[in-house]
DNA sequence: GAATATTTGTTCAAATATAATCAAAATCAA
DNA sequence: TTGATTTTGATTATATTTGAACAAATATTC
């Protein structure tokens, strides 16, 4: 059987069912899986179907929802508590940086009516703040699909062109001994750049991250001006002694 | 037996069965396979059948129906037609610019499986291409809420840092006398910048925009390398004479 | 986040189809 | 009939398609 006729059969199945996996197509078209894969690759290159891992979908169904939620879903109340505290610090007219931390993105809901300019590398932040009172400056560069954020050299250069009043940043770990740490080099780079181009650096940090170290130590404690957290224990005292303002 | 009578038999078999392979035809027509091949080549050249590897298909079966799904609006269908043509021009490994034109954004659905880098200022494009095989470079700058796109000086500078293979652009009007025109200065600025930093400029332009002028004339016809359109009339001839490749 | 299971990309060899070349057969004109 | 022309078939070389095996990439599971 020729590619042409297999193509027609595959197309028909995929259009009727919406999606189909390779095994199923191989059975129905009566050929091997490898041949189906090759056909699907050709058809996808022609824009006839959307190739998925393990099969194919019709184009109209191939809208992949951004799965950012699951990361946020952990500790929502804590994050919202922190975000609310941080939002109170923002004044109309402020120019602020927001990075792609999950706590930082919870800030959006509380600032939609503020007359401020937000400079951000985070797509979820952009989506949530677009068509609000907030004016948005999007940081350009390579998009990291997993994090739904822009990273890289170009992004850092973009940040350096701006001077902001406040930076609202997230980290993966913070400790007295090792300062700020992250599990992604690219995120750390952005965080550092934002911090150094803002008059005041706010670190949004839930209790699970306090006293923790991640593999990449990227900045000393001294870059932090304000630590916003839900933690209330005297674990915070040393940070305060260090000169960091605590908001909780 | 003459070619004429074999032709009739072959045509009858292919029409009845939808498809047939060379071996089968050779048996039924009582001739050698090589003769069948020669006949099929002639018939295919005359557009009587569709030649496949190993045989032949009925033409109507070999053509992909324009739209399998419920009829979408005629306007969308036109744009999708243009977008599909444009998508076929894109090769794996290409670096392409996409602006915030409405036809341009219809391109997304057809290129999700391509291994390319897309540099764009359009949020809908980013949204539709994120989590696909396409690698995205987001142009930074001020976000225009109404257009869901990034504009301005910073954006233009961002574009200037990149050299792309192809630019896929939309306009609001194009005419022989006045070249390209737009209704937004900011969009025009982006379009111009993308065009001058791409080796080839593809203009995606439905028939309603051909021969029309909008208030802002911003670029001469000469920046266009390829005009992709659904228009088929000889209205296109002058553009072709001008040296523009027409894709329709 | 690490370990496991799937899926995919790649390479290779076998099967199949096509193209090219040339000789044989059929057709046609005198 | 003869010779020229066209068509057909056989043979060989080339190209394409296919499937198998394995390494790499990607989901999935806990």
CB-CB neighbors (< 8 A) of B127 in chain A: 66, 123, 127
Describe the crossing of helices B22-29 and B3-17 by its angle, rounded to 10 degrees: 120
Answer yes or no: do A142 and B155 touch at CB < 8 A.
no
pLDDT digits (tens, 9 = 90+) for A137-180: 999 999 988 888 999 999 999 999 999 999 999 998 999 999 99
**Which CATH code fits A69-247?**
3.40.50.10470
CB-CB neighbors (< 8 A) of A100 in chain B: none
The average pLDDT across A125-137 equals: 93
pLDDT tens, N- to C-terminus, chain B (248 residues): 788 889 999 999 999 999 999 999 998 989 999 999 999 999 998 889 999 999 999 988 887 765 554 455 668 889 999 999 999 999 888 999 999 999 999 999 999 999 899 999 999 999 889 888 899 999 999 999 988 999 999 999 999 999 999 999 999 999 999 999 998 999 999 999 999 999 999 999 999 999 999 989 999 999 999 999 999 999 999 999 999 999 99
**Which CATH code fits B3-62?**
1.10.10.10
pLDDT band of residue A233 (cuts 50, 70, 90) is confident
Helix (H, G, I), strand (E, B) or coil at B120: strand
Domain residues of chain A, as ranges? 3-61, 69-247
Q: Are B173 and B212 in contact (CB under 8 A)?
A: yes
pLDDT digits (tens, 9 = 90+) for A65-124: 554 444 545 677 888 999 999 999 999 999 999 999 889 999 999 999 999 999 999 999
For chain B, say whether A62 makes contact (Cβ under 8 Å): yes
For chain B, say whether A163 makes contact (Cβ under 8 Å): no
Distance between CA atoms of B37 and B26, rounded to whole angstroms?
9
Query: Residue A197: phi, psi to the nearest 5?
Result: -105, 20
For chain B, say whether A161 makes contact (Cβ under 8 Å): yes
Q: Which residue is closest to C27 in terms of CA–C1' distance?
A: B2
* Closest Cβ opposite residue A137 in set B87, B111, B141: B141
Best mutation target among B143, B152, B157 (most A Cβ atoms within 10 Å) is: B143
A172 CB neighbour count, 10 Å cutoff: 20
For chain B, say whether A69 makes contact (Cβ under 8 Å): no
Q: Are B181 and B216 in contact (CB under 8 A)?
A: yes
For chain A, say whether B112 makes contact (Cβ under 8 Å): yes
A188 CB neighbour count, 10 Å cutoff: 21
Q: Does this complex have an ipTM over 0.90?
A: no
B3: nt with nearest C1' to CA: D7
pLDDT digits (tens, 9 = 90+) for A164-221: 999 999 998 999 999 999 888 888 999 999 999 999 999 999 888 898 888 889 999 9
Topology of domain A3-61 in CATH is Arc Repressor Mutant, subunit A (1.10.10)
The CATH class for the domain spanning B74-247 reads: alpha beta
Determine if strand C comes within 7 Å of the CB of A34.
yes
pLDDT in the model for residue A66: 52
pLDDT in the model for residue B66: 58
pLDDT in the model for residue A1: 83
Answer yes or no: do A130 and B111 touch at CB < 8 A.
no
Nucleotides of C under 7 A from a protein CB: 1, 6-10, 16-20
pLDDT in the model for residue B73: 67
pLDDT at A24 over 50: yes
pLDDT in the model for residue B74: 67
């Amino acid at each position: 059987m020729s590619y042409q006729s297999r193509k027609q059969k595959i197309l028909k199945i995929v259009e009727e069912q919406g999606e189909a996996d390779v095994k199923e197509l191989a059975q129905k078209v009566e050929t091997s899986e490898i041949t189906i894969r090759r056909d699907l690759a050709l058809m996808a290159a022609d824009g006839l179907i959307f190739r998925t891992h393990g099969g194919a979908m019709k184009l109209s169904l191939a809208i992949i929802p951004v799965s950012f939620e699951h990361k946020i879903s952990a500790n929502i109340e804590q994050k919202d508590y922190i975000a609310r505290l941080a939002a109170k610090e923002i004044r109309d007219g402020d120019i602020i940086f927001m990075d792609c931390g999950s706590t930082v993105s919870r800030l959006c809901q509380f600032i939609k009516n503020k007359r401020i300019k937000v400079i951000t590398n985070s797509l979820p932040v952009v989506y949530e703040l677009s068509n609000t009172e907030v004016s948005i400056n999007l940081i350009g560069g390579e998009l990291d699909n997993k994090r739904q954020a822009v990273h890289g050299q170009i992004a850092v250069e973009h940040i350096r062109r701006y001077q902001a009043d406040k930076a609202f940043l997230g980290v993966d770990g913070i400790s007295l001994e090792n300062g700020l740490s992250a599990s992604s080099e690219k995120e750390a780079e952005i965080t550092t750049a934002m911090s150094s181009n803002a008059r005041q650096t706010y670190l949004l940090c839930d209790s699970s991250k306090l006293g923790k170290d991640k593999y990449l130590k990227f900045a000393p404690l001294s870059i932090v001006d304000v630590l916003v957290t839900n933690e209330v224990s005297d674990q915070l005292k040393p940070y305060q002694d260090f000169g960091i303002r605590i908001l909780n």
